[in-house]
Amino acid sequence: MRKINEIFYSLQGEGYHTGTPAVFIRFSGCNLKCPFCDTQHEDGILMSDEDIVTEVSKYTAATVILTGGEPSLWIDHEFVDCLHRAGKYVCIETNGTRPLPDNIDWVTCSPKQGAKLEITRMDEVKVVYEGQDITVYEQLPARHFFLQPCSCSNTAETVDCVMKHPKWRLSLQTHKLIDIR
Ligand SMILES: C[S@@+](CC[C@H](N)C(=O)[O-])C[C@H]1O[C@@H](n2cnc3c(N)ncnc32)[C@H](O)[C@@H]1O
Ligand SMILES: Nc1nc2[nH]cc(C(=O)O)c2c(=O)[nH]1
Ligand code: SF4
Ligand SMILES: [Mg+2]
């Protein structure tokens, strides 16, 4: 059984796949307490893999996004396999502090200041900009580097930082801009 906060259908609002229809599986709980965290994730109910797949399969979109909270606390190879057998492309949003199963299709790593990274494979890095030095993340083994304003509040500073560091691209939380989930 895995503790689920919510399962909902929306568009990926952030990062490389922005605009892609996707089913979000939000797991409950996290090992970090980021002061800026925009998500209530503590509540949850225990669901079987069968029930999760049934819920996810109500939607025709191929993409599933595992998020939270911190999804790495709850998932394993078998769970990702179940989603693959249901025909899904499995993405994860993770803080990168816990190892991941190696069969996830797309890894979005959002490193947090002061939290040691444990994952060795990632497709994109997505940093929430708080004025920190972003060059420390430039050696991470990702293909794409995104800098995201914090709660859409410091967009001008984020744009300025991206223009000074052209390895990076701007990621806006587009779901907040158009008031969808
Ligand atoms: C709620 S977290 C859940 C997944 C995982 N715990 C993580 O931090 O990557 C999902 C994404 O939202 C980002 N995020 C959280 N709070 C934010 C905020 N106030 N403004 C912008 N992005 C935020 C995180 O950095 C992460 O990329
Ligand atoms: N639309 C939408 N896109 C998202 N991308 C990552 C999210 C998350 O909270 O992990 C998220 C979210 O909460 N909503
Ligand atoms: S790691 Fe992710 S879910 Fe956990 S507190 Fe930070 S932003 Fe929120
Ligand atoms: Mg969110």
Q: Categorize the per-residue pLDDT at 98 as very low, low, confident or very high, splitting at 50, 70 and 90.
A: very high
Report ipTM (2 d.p.): 0.99
For 93, the enclosing helix (H) or strand (E) is strand 89-94
Q: Which domains does the chain have, with CATH numbers?
A: 2-177 (3.20.20.70)
DSSP state of 105: S
Task: Say if CB 42 and CB 80 are below 8 A apart.
Answer: no
- Ligand 3, pocket residues at CB < 6 Å: 30, 32-34, 37, 39, 41, 68-70, 95, 112
Considering every ligand atom shown, identify the ligand nearest to the alpha carbon of residue 96 and give its number: 1
State the Cα–Cα distance between residues 69 and 37, nearest whole angstrom: 9
Closest residue (by CA) to atom 3 of ligand 2?
13
Query: pLDDT category, 40, cuts 50, 70, 90?
Result: very high
**Which tens digits make up the pLDDT trace of 42-95?**
999 999 999 999 999 999 999 999 999 999 999 999 999 999 999 999 999 999
Q: pLDDT tens, 123-173?
A: 999 999 999 999 999 999 999 999 999 999 999 999 999 999 999 999 999
- pLDDT value, residue 130: 98
CB of 174 sitting under 6 A from ligand 1: no
Judge whether 161 and 148 are in contact, CB under 8 Å. Answer: no
Q: Which residues are annotated as a binding site for substrate?
A: 11-13, 26, 67
* Nearest protein CA to atom 7 of ligand 3, as residue: 37
Tokens of 64: 């599933």
Place of tokens 């806006």: 172
pLDDT at site 10: 98
Residues 45 and 93: beta-carbon distance below 8 Å: no
pLDDT for 136 equals 98
Helix segments in 61-127, DSSP class H: 77-85
